């Protein structure tokens, strides 16, 4: 299946080979899509350019990876520079993947009620407002029937202890998805979010949800955890023409965990342990 043959777009937020954004990009490129990538900007005193190097190790060998540039979503000039590069390389873009989130580690370790004011503002700007900023900057280079996908998490829908302030940011991101879907609908641009279950990623480890792996496995109807490949395929679906009638949705890939109203088969394990 070459669902992305002739398609071109942007992948924002790859950090390393365990990033969900990379899993999605791999599926897109395998199906003929061409991708432009961004990386976190390196500090001026970092001669080794660690952020760029991590992503370049993945991107450079990939035939359909066309460029790699820095992106600071707190700086409009940097955002515009990324879109200008995409315009020069691609003309128009058919898809945009937003996989960007951040919160201060100290705030993540605290109870939500103790979140710092500055930490809250930065987390919300980077994790939620950045989707508005990049979508607005890309408006003029979207092709007809282009698609945006953002990465969210169940902690934005329900309280997940340990996810703390990031859960509030994801809740805001989910709302941004719906409002952008409305705003960009007349242009033919679709906007959706992908809510993945438990995966080993940098973001997951930082947010302290790794310990929930066994819980997801026990409660999910499928009785197992998901894989990077499964999330990658679903993310590619949301950015492809196969989902042209879908917009404003929060699409769960979690083995069905999100729809459970009780611990399910986990009750049998609890009963057996007594």
Could you tell me the domains of the chain? 8-273 (3.40.50.720)
**Residue 202: band (very low, low, confident or very high) from pLDDT cuts 50, 70, 90:** low
Q: Span 182-197, mean pLDDT?
A: 98
Q: Residue 239's closest CA among 76, 81, 57, 99?
A: 99
**DSSP 3-state helix, strand, coil percentages of the chain (rounded to 5)?**
50, 15, 35
Q: Judge whether residue 140 has pLDDT over 90.
A: yes
Q: Choose the catalytic residue: 153, 154, 216, 257.
A: 153
Q: Span 242-258, mean pLDDT?
A: 97
Residue 257 appears among annotated catalytic residues: no
pLDDT at 121: 98
pLDDT at 201: 67
Q: Span 69-87, mean pLDDT?
A: 97
Contact indicator for 39, 60 with CB cutoff of 8 Å:
no
Q: Span 220-234, mean pLDDT?
A: 95
Q: Span 143-169, mean pLDDT?
A: 96
pLDDT at 204: 54
CA distances from 99 to 21, 37, 144, 248, 261 (A): 6, 11, 22, 17, 29
- Distance of alpha carbon 183 from the chain centroid: 20
pLDDT at 210: 59
Q: Judge whether residue 34 has pLDDT over 90.
A: yes
Quick one: DSSP state of residue 127? I
Q: Span 120-146, mean pLDDT?
A: 98
What is the rounded CA–CA span in Å between residue 23 and residue 38?
Answer: 15
What is the rounded CA–CA span in Å between residue 59 and residue 34?
Answer: 11
pLDDT at 157: 97
What is the rounded CA–CA span in Å between residue 76 and residue 171?
Answer: 23
For the chain, what is the mean pLDDT? 93
The two beta strands, 250-253 and 93-98, are unpaired
What is the rounded CA–CA span in Å between residue 74 and residue 208?
Answer: 25
Question: Torsion over CA of 121, 140, 150 and 18, rounded to 10 degrees?
Answer: -100
For 118-127, the pLDDT digits (tens) are: 999 999 999 9
Q: Judge whether residue 152 has pLDDT over 80.
A: yes
Q: Choose the catalytic residue: 154, 163, 216, 257.
A: 163
Residue 179 appears among annotated catalytic residues: no
């Amino acid at each position: 299946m070459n669902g992305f043959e002739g398609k071109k777009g942007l992948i924002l937020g790859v950090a390393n080979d365990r990033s969900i954004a990379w899993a999605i990009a791999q599926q897109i490129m395998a199906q003929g899509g061409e991708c432009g990538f961004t990386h976190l900007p390196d500090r001026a005193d970092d001669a080794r350019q660690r952020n760029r190097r991590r992503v370049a190790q993945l991107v450079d060998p990939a035939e359909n990876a066309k460029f790699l540039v820095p992106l600071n979503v707190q700086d409009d000039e940097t955002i515009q520079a990324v879109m200008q590069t995409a315009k020069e390389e691609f003309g128009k873009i058919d898809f945009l993947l937003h996989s960007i989130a951040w919160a201060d580690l100290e705030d993540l370790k605290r109870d939500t009620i103790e979140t710092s004011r500055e930490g809250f503002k930065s987390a919300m700007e980077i994790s939620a407002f950045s989707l508005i900023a990049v979508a607005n900057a890309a408006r003029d280079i979207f092709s007809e029937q282009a698609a945006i996908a953002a990465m969210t998490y169940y902690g934005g829908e329900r309280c997940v202890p340990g996810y703390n302030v990031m859960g509030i940011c994801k809740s805001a991101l989910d709302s941004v998805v719906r409002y952008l879907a409305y705003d960009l609908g007349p242009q033919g641009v679709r906007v959706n979010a992908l809510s993945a279950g438990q995966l080993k990623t940098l973001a997951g480890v930082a947010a302290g949800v790794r310990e929930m792996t066994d819980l997801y496995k026990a409660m999910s109807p499928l009785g197992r955890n998901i894989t990077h490949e499964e999330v990658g395929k679903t993310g590619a679906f949301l950015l492809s023409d196969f989902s042209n009638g879908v917009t404003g949705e929060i699409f769960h890939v979690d083995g069905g965990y999100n729809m459970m109203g009780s611990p399910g088969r986990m009750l049998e394990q609890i009963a057996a342990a007594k």
